[in-house]
Amino acid sequence: STRSFERGRHQAPEAPARLHRFSEVARSAVGRATLAAAAPAMQQQRSSRPRRSAAWAHAWKVICCLKRAILGIPVCLVLILIGYDWYAFHFIFLGFGKVLYDIQTWFLILMFNTSMALLLTSYLRCVFTSSAVRHNPQLGTRDVDLKLIDGSLGEGSSGTDEEGGYEAFPRCRKCSQLKPRRAHHCMVCGECILKMDHHCPWVGNCVGLRNYKFFLLFLFYAITTIAVYALKALPIVYEMFMGKRTRRAPTLGPVVAITVVITLSFGVSLFFFLGFHLMLVLMAKTTIELAETSGSRSPYNMGWRRNWEAVFGPSQIMWLIPIDTCPENGYDYVATSADSHVPTYH
Protein backbone atom coordinates (compact mmCIF):
# COMPACT_ATOMS: atom_id res chain seq x y z
CA SER A 1 0.00 0.00 0.00
CA THR A 2 2.90 2.33 0.73
CA ARG A 3 4.32 1.65 -2.72
CA SER A 4 0.92 2.34 -4.27
CA PHE A 5 0.68 5.61 -2.37
CA GLU A 6 4.15 6.66 -3.50
CA ARG A 7 3.35 5.68 -7.09
CA GLY A 8 0.11 7.71 -7.01
CA ARG A 9 1.85 10.65 -5.35
CA HIS A 10 4.42 10.76 -8.15
CA GLN A 11 1.84 10.25 -10.95
CA ALA A 12 -0.62 12.90 -9.71
CA PRO A 13 1.23 15.93 -11.15
CA GLU A 14 1.19 14.32 -14.60
CA ALA A 15 -2.53 15.03 -15.05
CA PRO A 16 -2.25 18.86 -15.05
CA ALA A 17 0.72 18.63 -17.42
CA ARG A 18 -1.28 16.52 -19.85
CA LEU A 19 -4.18 18.93 -19.56
CA HIS A 20 -1.86 21.86 -20.28
CA ARG A 21 -0.43 20.13 -23.35
CA PHE A 22 -3.92 19.29 -24.53
CA SER A 23 -5.03 22.91 -24.18
CA GLU A 24 -1.98 24.09 -26.15
CA VAL A 25 -2.73 21.61 -28.91
CA ALA A 26 -6.36 22.70 -28.93
CA ARG A 27 -5.42 26.39 -29.09
CA SER A 28 -2.98 25.76 -31.92
CA ALA A 29 -5.62 23.76 -33.77
CA VAL A 30 -8.18 26.52 -33.28
CA GLY A 31 -5.59 29.08 -34.39
CA ARG A 32 -4.82 27.11 -37.53
CA ALA A 33 -8.51 26.74 -38.25
CA THR A 34 -9.05 30.46 -37.74
CA LEU A 35 -6.15 31.32 -40.01
CA ALA A 36 -7.40 28.88 -42.60
CA ALA A 37 -10.84 30.45 -42.45
CA ALA A 38 -9.44 33.99 -42.62
CA ALA A 39 -6.91 33.22 -45.36
CA PRO A 40 -9.32 33.79 -48.27
CA ALA A 41 -10.42 37.13 -46.83
CA MET A 42 -6.81 38.23 -46.23
CA GLN A 43 -5.81 37.12 -49.70
CA GLN A 44 -8.77 38.97 -51.18
CA GLN A 45 -7.83 42.09 -49.21
CA ARG A 46 -4.24 41.89 -50.43
CA SER A 47 -5.34 41.38 -54.01
CA SER A 48 -7.75 44.31 -53.73
CA ARG A 49 -4.94 46.74 -52.83
CA PRO A 50 -3.30 46.63 -56.28
CA ARG A 51 -6.75 46.98 -57.81
CA ARG A 52 -7.41 50.10 -55.75
CA SER A 53 -4.02 51.61 -56.63
CA ALA A 54 -4.58 50.79 -60.30
CA ALA A 55 -8.04 52.35 -60.11
CA TRP A 56 -6.65 55.52 -58.53
CA ALA A 57 -3.89 55.68 -61.16
CA HIS A 58 -6.46 55.31 -63.92
CA ALA A 59 -8.67 57.97 -62.34
CA TRP A 60 -5.69 60.33 -62.06
CA LYS A 61 -4.90 59.80 -65.75
CA VAL A 62 -8.50 60.63 -66.62
CA ILE A 63 -8.33 63.80 -64.50
CA CYS A 64 -5.09 64.86 -66.20
CA CYS A 65 -6.63 64.24 -69.63
CA LEU A 66 -9.68 66.31 -68.70
CA LYS A 67 -7.42 69.08 -67.41
CA ARG A 68 -5.46 69.15 -70.68
CA ALA A 69 -8.69 69.16 -72.66
CA ILE A 70 -10.08 72.10 -70.68
CA LEU A 71 -6.81 74.03 -71.00
CA GLY A 72 -6.87 73.36 -74.74
CA ILE A 73 -10.27 75.02 -75.27
CA PRO A 74 -8.87 78.61 -75.49
CA VAL A 75 -6.20 77.40 -77.93
CA CYS A 76 -8.90 75.87 -80.14
CA LEU A 77 -10.91 79.10 -80.00
CA VAL A 78 -7.90 81.13 -81.13
CA LEU A 79 -7.23 78.74 -84.02
CA ILE A 80 -10.90 78.84 -85.05
CA LEU A 81 -10.88 82.65 -85.02
CA ILE A 82 -7.68 82.73 -87.10
CA GLY A 83 -9.09 80.24 -89.60
CA TYR A 84 -12.40 82.08 -89.95
CA ASP A 85 -10.64 85.43 -90.43
CA TRP A 86 -8.53 83.88 -93.20
CA TYR A 87 -11.68 82.56 -94.87
CA ALA A 88 -13.53 85.86 -94.49
CA PHE A 89 -10.63 87.89 -95.89
CA HIS A 90 -10.30 85.80 -99.05
CA PHE A 91 -13.82 84.59 -99.84
CA ILE A 92 -16.03 87.32 -98.37
CA PHE A 93 -14.13 90.60 -98.44
CA LEU A 94 -12.07 89.86 -101.59
CA GLY A 95 -14.59 87.62 -103.34
CA PHE A 96 -11.92 85.08 -104.21
CA GLY A 97 -12.60 83.48 -107.60
CA LYS A 98 -15.41 85.93 -108.44
CA VAL A 99 -13.60 89.13 -109.38
CA LEU A 100 -10.32 90.11 -110.99
CA TYR A 101 -7.75 91.59 -108.66
CA ASP A 102 -5.58 94.61 -109.28
CA ILE A 103 -1.95 94.95 -108.18
CA GLN A 104 -2.93 96.60 -104.89
CA THR A 105 -5.22 93.70 -103.98
CA TRP A 106 -2.56 91.11 -104.83
CA PHE A 107 -0.12 93.03 -102.64
CA LEU A 108 -2.61 92.91 -99.74
CA ILE A 109 -3.07 89.16 -100.27
CA LEU A 110 0.70 88.63 -100.18
CA MET A 111 1.09 90.72 -97.03
CA PHE A 112 -1.85 89.05 -95.31
CA ASN A 113 -0.77 85.47 -96.01
CA THR A 114 2.89 86.11 -95.15
CA SER A 115 1.91 87.71 -91.86
CA MET A 116 -0.62 84.95 -91.20
CA ALA A 117 1.99 82.22 -91.79
CA LEU A 118 4.43 83.88 -89.38
CA LEU A 119 1.58 84.38 -86.92
CA LEU A 120 0.63 80.69 -86.94
CA THR A 121 4.26 79.57 -86.71
CA SER A 122 4.95 81.86 -83.74
CA TYR A 123 1.72 80.83 -82.04
CA LEU A 124 2.26 77.09 -82.40
CA ARG A 125 5.87 77.36 -81.27
CA CYS A 126 4.73 79.31 -78.22
CA VAL A 127 2.12 76.64 -77.47
CA PHE A 128 4.43 73.63 -77.84
CA THR A 129 7.73 75.04 -76.52
CA SER A 130 8.30 74.33 -72.85
CA SER A 131 10.33 76.53 -70.52
CA ALA A 132 10.04 74.06 -67.65
CA VAL A 133 13.16 73.20 -65.68
CA ARG A 134 12.78 69.47 -66.33
CA HIS A 135 12.65 70.06 -70.11
CA ASN A 136 15.66 72.40 -70.09
CA PRO A 137 18.41 70.84 -67.95
CA GLN A 138 21.64 72.72 -67.50
CA LEU A 139 24.22 71.72 -70.10
CA GLY A 140 27.91 72.35 -70.65
CA THR A 141 30.79 72.84 -68.27
CA ARG A 142 28.67 74.67 -65.71
CA ASP A 143 26.47 71.68 -64.93
CA VAL A 144 25.48 71.56 -61.30
CA ASP A 145 27.24 68.77 -59.46
CA LEU A 146 24.86 66.12 -58.17
CA LYS A 147 26.33 66.41 -54.71
CA LEU A 148 25.12 70.01 -54.56
CA ILE A 149 21.49 69.28 -55.34
CA ASP A 150 20.76 66.50 -52.88
CA GLY A 151 18.08 68.56 -51.16
CA SER A 152 20.33 69.92 -48.41
CA LEU A 153 19.59 73.46 -49.54
CA GLY A 154 16.35 74.93 -48.29
CA GLU A 155 13.69 76.84 -50.14
CA GLY A 156 14.87 80.28 -51.19
CA SER A 157 18.51 79.60 -50.34
CA SER A 158 21.45 78.86 -52.56
CA GLY A 159 24.97 77.63 -52.18
CA THR A 160 28.27 77.80 -54.02
CA ASP A 161 30.61 75.03 -54.97
CA GLU A 162 33.94 76.01 -53.45
CA GLU A 163 35.86 73.85 -55.93
CA GLY A 164 33.98 74.62 -59.15
CA GLY A 165 32.87 78.13 -58.28
CA TYR A 166 29.32 77.80 -59.61
CA GLU A 167 26.02 78.05 -57.85
CA ALA A 168 24.00 75.24 -56.34
CA PHE A 169 20.27 75.77 -56.60
CA PRO A 170 17.56 74.88 -54.10
CA ARG A 171 14.70 72.58 -54.91
CA CYS A 172 11.07 73.58 -55.14
CA ARG A 173 8.92 72.41 -52.23
CA LYS A 174 5.98 71.78 -54.54
CA CYS A 175 7.51 69.86 -57.46
CA SER A 176 11.01 68.98 -56.12
CA GLN A 177 12.64 70.39 -59.25
CA LEU A 178 15.67 72.67 -59.30
CA LYS A 179 14.78 76.31 -58.80
CA PRO A 180 17.43 78.70 -60.16
CA ARG A 181 17.15 82.47 -60.06
CA ARG A 182 14.10 83.96 -61.86
CA ALA A 183 12.36 80.55 -61.91
CA HIS A 184 8.87 80.27 -60.43
CA HIS A 185 6.43 77.45 -59.80
CA CYS A 186 3.29 77.49 -61.95
CA MET A 187 0.25 76.08 -60.16
CA VAL A 188 -1.51 75.38 -63.48
CA CYS A 189 1.36 73.51 -65.14
CA GLY A 190 2.48 71.99 -61.84
CA GLU A 191 6.20 72.60 -62.40
CA CYS A 192 8.90 75.25 -62.18
CA ILE A 193 9.42 77.52 -65.21
CA LEU A 194 12.72 79.14 -66.14
CA LYS A 195 12.47 82.96 -66.21
CA MET A 196 8.71 82.68 -65.87
CA ASP A 197 6.70 85.68 -67.06
CA HIS A 198 3.12 84.45 -66.71
CA HIS A 199 0.80 81.58 -67.54
CA CYS A 200 -1.22 82.46 -70.64
CA PRO A 201 -4.50 80.54 -71.04
CA TRP A 202 -4.72 81.61 -74.71
CA VAL A 203 -1.61 79.61 -75.54
CA GLY A 204 -2.26 76.90 -72.94
CA ASN A 205 1.30 77.19 -71.71
CA CYS A 206 3.60 79.14 -69.44
CA VAL A 207 5.45 82.00 -71.09
CA GLY A 208 9.06 81.78 -69.98
CA LEU A 209 12.63 81.66 -71.15
CA ARG A 210 12.28 79.41 -74.20
CA ASN A 211 9.01 80.68 -75.69
CA TYR A 212 9.04 84.37 -74.68
CA LYS A 213 10.35 85.42 -78.11
CA PHE A 214 7.65 83.34 -79.83
CA PHE A 215 5.02 84.95 -77.62
CA LEU A 216 6.18 88.47 -78.55
CA LEU A 217 6.34 87.57 -82.25
CA PHE A 218 2.84 86.13 -82.02
CA LEU A 219 1.59 89.45 -80.66
CA PHE A 220 3.49 91.41 -83.33
CA TYR A 221 2.27 89.34 -86.29
CA ALA A 222 -1.25 89.24 -84.90
CA ILE A 223 -1.25 93.05 -84.97
CA THR A 224 0.16 93.24 -88.52
CA THR A 225 -2.29 90.60 -89.77
CA ILE A 226 -5.24 92.40 -88.20
CA ALA A 227 -4.03 95.71 -89.69
CA VAL A 228 -4.06 94.26 -93.23
CA TYR A 229 -7.38 92.58 -92.46
CA ALA A 230 -8.85 95.91 -91.35
CA LEU A 231 -7.72 97.69 -94.54
CA LYS A 232 -10.05 95.48 -96.54
CA ALA A 233 -12.78 94.70 -94.03
CA LEU A 234 -13.54 98.11 -92.50
CA PRO A 235 -14.72 99.86 -95.71
CA ILE A 236 -17.10 96.98 -96.46
CA VAL A 237 -18.45 96.83 -92.90
CA TYR A 238 -18.91 100.61 -92.98
CA GLU A 239 -20.96 100.32 -96.16
CA MET A 240 -23.14 97.66 -94.56
CA PHE A 241 -23.84 99.72 -91.42
CA MET A 242 -24.56 102.82 -93.49
CA GLY A 243 -27.13 100.90 -95.51
CA LYS A 244 -25.40 101.39 -98.83
CA ARG A 245 -26.43 98.93 -101.49
CA THR A 246 -23.17 97.84 -103.07
CA ARG A 247 -21.93 94.69 -104.67
CA ARG A 248 -20.00 93.75 -101.51
CA ALA A 249 -22.16 94.85 -98.56
CA PRO A 250 -25.17 92.50 -99.02
CA THR A 251 -22.90 89.45 -98.71
CA LEU A 252 -22.12 90.27 -95.09
CA GLY A 253 -24.12 88.60 -92.36
CA PRO A 254 -24.23 89.21 -88.61
CA VAL A 255 -21.66 86.47 -87.95
CA VAL A 256 -19.12 88.17 -90.20
CA ALA A 257 -19.80 91.56 -88.63
CA ILE A 258 -19.39 90.17 -85.11
CA THR A 259 -16.17 88.41 -86.13
CA VAL A 260 -14.79 91.66 -87.52
CA VAL A 261 -15.59 93.50 -84.28
CA ILE A 262 -13.97 90.76 -82.16
CA THR A 263 -10.88 90.68 -84.39
CA LEU A 264 -10.40 94.45 -84.29
CA SER A 265 -10.93 94.48 -80.51
CA PHE A 266 -8.21 91.85 -80.17
CA GLY A 267 -5.95 93.96 -82.37
CA VAL A 268 -6.32 97.05 -80.19
CA SER A 269 -5.78 95.14 -76.93
CA LEU A 270 -2.79 93.24 -78.34
CA PHE A 271 -1.20 96.52 -79.44
CA PHE A 272 -1.07 97.82 -75.87
CA PHE A 273 -0.14 94.38 -74.52
CA LEU A 274 2.82 94.16 -76.91
CA GLY A 275 3.95 97.65 -75.90
CA PHE A 276 3.85 96.62 -72.24
CA HIS A 277 5.99 93.54 -72.85
CA LEU A 278 8.50 95.39 -75.02
CA MET A 279 8.94 97.80 -72.12
CA LEU A 280 9.61 94.82 -69.83
CA VAL A 281 12.20 93.46 -72.28
CA LEU A 282 14.09 96.76 -72.30
CA MET A 283 13.93 96.87 -68.48
CA ALA A 284 15.11 93.24 -68.12
CA LYS A 285 12.05 92.35 -66.05
CA THR A 286 9.29 89.79 -66.21
CA THR A 287 5.68 90.43 -65.26
CA ILE A 288 6.22 88.64 -61.94
CA GLU A 289 9.38 90.61 -61.20
CA LEU A 290 7.64 93.87 -62.06
CA ALA A 291 5.00 93.10 -59.43
CA GLU A 292 7.66 92.15 -56.87
CA THR A 293 10.10 95.02 -57.49
CA SER A 294 7.82 97.82 -58.63
CA GLY A 295 9.72 101.09 -58.89
CA SER A 296 13.19 99.58 -58.47
CA ARG A 297 15.82 98.80 -61.07
CA SER A 298 16.14 95.20 -62.18
CA PRO A 299 19.25 93.50 -60.77
CA TYR A 300 19.69 91.84 -64.17
CA ASN A 301 19.61 95.06 -66.21
CA MET A 302 22.56 95.11 -68.64
CA GLY A 303 21.45 98.08 -70.75
CA TRP A 304 18.59 98.19 -73.25
CA ARG A 305 20.62 96.72 -76.12
CA ARG A 306 21.87 93.67 -74.22
CA ASN A 307 18.47 93.25 -72.57
CA TRP A 308 16.91 93.10 -76.04
CA GLU A 309 19.51 90.62 -77.29
CA ALA A 310 18.91 88.44 -74.22
CA VAL A 311 15.44 87.70 -75.64
CA PHE A 312 15.81 88.02 -79.44
CA GLY A 313 19.47 87.12 -79.86
CA PRO A 314 22.41 89.12 -81.23
CA SER A 315 21.58 88.64 -84.93
CA GLN A 316 19.25 91.35 -86.23
CA ILE A 317 18.23 89.20 -89.20
CA MET A 318 16.72 86.61 -86.83
CA TRP A 319 14.79 89.03 -84.64
CA LEU A 320 11.51 88.71 -86.58
CA ILE A 321 11.85 85.02 -87.47
CA PRO A 322 10.20 82.49 -85.11
CA ILE A 323 13.40 80.55 -84.41
CA ASP A 324 14.93 80.07 -80.97
CA THR A 325 17.84 82.51 -80.74
CA CYS A 326 17.83 83.07 -76.98
CA PRO A 327 21.46 83.00 -75.77
CA GLU A 328 20.54 82.37 -72.12
CA ASN A 329 20.27 78.97 -70.43
CA GLY A 330 18.19 80.12 -67.45
CA TYR A 331 20.77 79.17 -64.81
CA ASP A 332 23.55 81.77 -64.96
CA TYR A 333 21.79 84.97 -63.91
CA VAL A 334 24.00 87.29 -61.89
CA ALA A 335 22.90 90.56 -60.25
CA THR A 336 24.69 93.46 -61.98
CA SER A 337 24.31 96.00 -59.17
CA ALA A 338 24.54 95.57 -55.42
CA ASP A 339 21.86 98.17 -54.67
CA SER A 340 19.21 96.40 -56.74
CA HIS A 341 16.57 94.28 -55.10
CA VAL A 342 16.88 90.61 -56.04
CA PRO A 343 13.43 88.94 -56.16
CA THR A 344 12.88 86.00 -53.84
CA TYR A 345 11.98 82.46 -54.87
CA HIS A 346 8.34 81.51 -55.27
Find the DSSP H helices in the chain: 2-11, 14-71, 73-87, 103-128, 212-241, 254-283, 287-292, 304-312
Q: Of the listed 65, 186, 189, 200, which one is catalytic? A: 200
| Cα–Cα distance for residue pair 39/43, rounded to 1 Å | 6
Residue 76 among the catalytic residues:
no
Q: Return the bridge partners of 314, or none.
A: none
Residue 124: which of 88, 89, 72, 87 has the closest Cα? Answer: 72
Q: Are 182 and 330 in contact (CB under 8 A)?
A: yes
Q: Are 212 and 197 in contact (CB under 8 A)?
A: yes
CA 144 to mean position of chain CA atoms: 24
Q: How many CB atoms lie within 10 A of CB 149?
A: 15
- Kindly report the backbone phi and psi dihedral angles of residue 199, in degrees, each rounded to the nearest multiple of 5, phi listed first: -95, 120
Residue by residue, DSSP assigns 16-72 as HHHHHHHHHHHHHHHHHHHHHHHHHHHHHHHHHHHHHHHHHHHHHHHHHHHHHHHHT
Which residues are the active-site residues?
200
